[in-house]
Chain A
Amino acid sequence: MTTETKPDIDIDRSVGDFRYEMDYAFDAGIGLNEATIDYISDVKGDPDWVREFRKEGYRKFLEKPMPTHWATKDLENIVFENIRYYLSQGQVPKRTWDEVPDDIKKTFERLGIPEQERKFLAGVEAQFDSEAAYSNIKAAVGEQGVIFVGSTEGLKEHPEIFKKWFGKVIPSGDNKFSALNSAVFSGGSFIYVPPGVKVKHPLQAYFRINAQNFGQFERTLIIADEGAELTYMEGCTAPKFETATLHSAVVELVAMKGAKIQYITVQNWSSNVFNLVTKRGIAHEDAEVKWIDCNIGSRLTMKYPGVVMKGKGARGEVVSIALAGDGQHQDTGAKMIHAADNTTSNIISKSISLGSGRSTYRGMVHVPKHLKGCKNNTECDALLINSHSRTDTYPAISVRGQGNAVQHEASVSQISAEQIFYMQQRGLSEAAAMSLAVNGFVNDLVQQFPMEYSVELKRLIDLEMEGSVG
């Protein structure tokens, strides 16, 4: 090999697009069958009920059709036989960065994770391919009884809480990809916040795909007990590969009576990633579940965070920003299931389509007949930048019964050549003018982000715009 003469990394314009060579101690090989699942269960030392859960998920995965009847045919380009389902160095998540193996640590250092942790986070979990390399929570937060560990550790060390909710918010047979995740899941976070504990600073997870032809299937379960409050943030990146990569997570949230969970995602996948994620939360009486979802990058994202408002007075909210660059498809939206009186849901979605990029909004708001005093507000705004980009809106609002109110607004706008000229006349380059206009379009939503993340988001938008102009 001639690698010595070349730099060991390959930097592109995007911060996440670099990759260090790795040797993996555990590799489930290419393709998926029952033996793959046994291999994963063996490596992870799963209890029997988890092995059974996986096999059940696998059966459902085989049964379920691809959702191509309503979504895109591009899904048919995923070749499940070509994917590697488990890769790790056999690492147990470390509690200090010093213990994290150098080759993994340098990746996260480059992504700025340890620095962010010092500055503003209550805890961090950093996943590299299939397993977390690092997982730590600030002592003060741990002392309040907050549990923040990887899913593997969660199911082993805290089965009494874990088992009660795992797979209950999102049954493994919910859709083909939740079934696939159930079969091969690895990594992701398990969080429990005890009654009345309000975690002041965010907990953060970072998901990094490093290997080619790889599938990342993390599984996150968050439970906020009565009156507890928590903000969780996840970031994700992958380097650019020639071949398709699959990211298919399942995230389940449980907000007990009066609890509040805010779940923030800023994804920046490279343009070869199929990102097919199922996210849903249950909000009990007077509880609140809020998803703030930012989808940048990927080849195809299909993601519709949902809230089941199970208790009276529960609130669900989805705030989403999707940016479909050239050749990308963001198929995103929200599902709001009202299942008790006086429940309120709010959906605000903004999408930006560039070049041949395509954005689709799919919303589902369900209020059954017997309920009273339920409200939904849905706003979706699309911004098109240049003529061949495309946007579709499919709101499915089924509201029955008396005294329930829904409001739906949608708009499509464009950045005009005259606006760009006006901004250029003030000295801004075309790309800077585009960025500014796009940032202006999402500005009111970005305000809802923690500062550090809104800065990151702005930077990502700037990078996308730079790449798309000129």
Chain B
Amino acid sequence: MSAPSSSSLSIRDLHASIGDKPILKGLTLDIPKGEVHAIMGKNGAGKSTLAKIMAGHPDYTVTSGDVLLDGESILGIEPDVRARLGLFLAFQYPMEIPGVTIANFIRAALQARLPEGEELEATDYYAKLYSKMDALSVPRNFTSRSVNEGFSGGEKKRCEILQMAMLEPSYAVLDETDSGLDIDALKIVSAGVNALRGPNIGMLVITHYQRLLDYIVPDKVHVMSEGRIIHSGDKDLALKLEAEGYDWVEKEYSAGKSAV
């Protein structure tokens, strides 16, 4: 195993379970800053679980292994602390927060990143918020709507990326951000994500569809199955998976294992 780079989001032989049920079974993955990696895999492979465990969801128990953010373990740290360290998760199913407007929500999140006693500058904040909203074609009247309440599936996903754009994380995990998006929205959201790409951010994009990876071109593609990464390749792997399905990867993997 190669040593994790100090400038990466690094998952080392991670085992995790919910209750007695193991879900991650020795998962290793390294996402260096500046790169975009994609994870593909069947329903129930554990992709969302991996995302939530990295973010610190309290329902899951890590039984062994580690998650390192820029070389420091983040296991055992509160979810909000991880977020403020620069980890962002775009949820597969974003939650509704009744009565809390998008504007106030993002503002509170930014305020939480400032030192005690320092106030977010309101005019700068709104200027930035509006420009990001415009870029993602989120109508301006959304600022006064409650977070995700009554949003269509696509609107929810767009607002996840809006939050990401505002919070400027150093590592972002995008869990099926493309599902539920129409073709135009897919282009807009992908453009939004691409605009955030750069040397200061590492991204992990979870998707079922090769199509997304036409827009957000990944540096690496990984296949996840039963709580492990069973195969990795470049962007062409996604094309092959789209054409041939997952069976051949799984076969290769179990053949490789039995050969050892």
**A425 and B112 contact, Cβ closer than 8 Å, known pairs A430-B80, A440-B98, A443-B99:** no
Q: Which of B91, B146, B167 contacts A440 (CB 8 A)?
A: B146
> Which residue on A lies nearest to B109, using beta carbons?
A426
B97 touches A442 (CB 8 A): no
> Which residue on B lies nearest to A470, using beta carbons?
B78
**A440 and B95 contact, Cβ closer than 8 Å, known pairs A426-B109, A428-B109, A429-B112:** no
* A417 contacts B by Cβ under 8 Å: yes
By a CB distance below 8 angstroms, the chain B residues around A423 are 97, 105
By a CB distance below 8 angstroms, the chain A residues around B163 are 426
A428 touches B57 (CB 8 A): no
**In the docked arrangement, what's the CA distance between A440 and B99, Å?**
4
Q: Which of A413, A425, A432 contacts B108 (CB 8 A)?
A: A432
**In the docked arrangement, what's the CA distance between A421 and B54, Å?**
12
By a CB distance below 8 angstroms, the chain A residues around B97 are 419, 422-423, 436-437, 440
A424 touches B98 (CB 8 A): no
**A440 and B112 contact, Cβ closer than 8 Å, known pairs A424-B83, A425-B55, A430-B78:** no
By a CB distance below 8 angstroms, the chain A residues around B57 are 421
By a CB distance below 8 angstroms, the chain A residues around B79 are 421, 424-425
> Which residue on A lies nearest to B95, using beta carbons?
A422
Query: Is chain A's interface secondary structure helix, strand, loop, or mixed overall?
Result: helix
Within residues 209 to 230 of chain A, which ones have a CB less than 8 A from any CB in chain B? Answer: none
Within residues 137 to 168 of chain B, which ones have a CB less than 8 A from any CB in chain A? Answer: 146, 163, 167
* A439 contacts B by Cβ under 8 Å: yes
By a CB distance below 8 angstroms, the chain A residues around B104 are 436
* B231 contacts A by Cβ under 8 Å: no
- The total of Cβ contacts below 8 Å across the A-B interface reads 82
Chain B interface residue count: which class?
20 to 34
**In the docked arrangement, what's the CA distance between A127 and B100, Å?**
37
By a CB distance below 8 angstroms, the chain A residues around B78 are 424, 429-430
A426 touches B167 (CB 8 A): yes
- State how many angstroms separate the Cβ of A276 from the closest Cβ of chain B: 31
**In the docked arrangement, what's the CA distance between A419 and B146, Å?**
13
User: What sequence of 0s and 1s flags, for each residue 150-190 of chain B, a beta carbon within 8 Å of any chain A beta carbon?
Assistant: 00000000000001000100000000000000000000000
- State how many angstroms separate the Cβ of A416 from the closest Cβ of chain B: 8
A427 touches B109 (CB 8 A): yes
Interface size on A, residues (CB 8 A): 25
Within residues 376 to 433 of chain A, which ones have a CB less than 8 A from any CB in chain B? Answer: 413, 416-419, 421-430, 432-433
B80 touches A427 (CB 8 A): yes
**A427 and B95 contact, Cβ closer than 8 Å, known pairs A439-B100, A440-B100:** no
**In the docked arrangement, what's the CA distance between A53 and B248, Å?**
94
* A242 contacts B by Cβ under 8 Å: no
- State how many angstroms separate the Cβ of A384 from the closest Cβ of chain B: 14
By a CB distance below 8 angstroms, the chain B residues around A439 are 99-100
* A441 contacts B by Cβ under 8 Å: yes
B112 touches A432 (CB 8 A): yes
- State how many angstroms separate the Cβ of B171 from the closest Cβ of chain A: 13
- State how many angstroms separate the Cβ of A14 from the closest Cβ of chain B: 19
26 A-B contacts, Cβ less than 8 Å apart? Answer: A421-B55, A422-B91, A422-B97, A423-B97, A423-B105, A424-B80, A425-B55, A425-B56, A425-B79, A425-B91, A426-B106, A426-B109, A427-B83, A428-B80, A429-B78, A429-B112, A430-B80, A432-B80, A436-B97, A436-B104, A436-B108, A437-B99, A440-B97, A440-B98, A440-B146, A441-B99
Q: Name B residues whose Cβ lies closer than 8 Å to a Cβ of A.
A: 55-59, 78-80, 83-84, 88-89, 91, 94-100, 104-106, 108-109, 112-113, 146, 163, 167
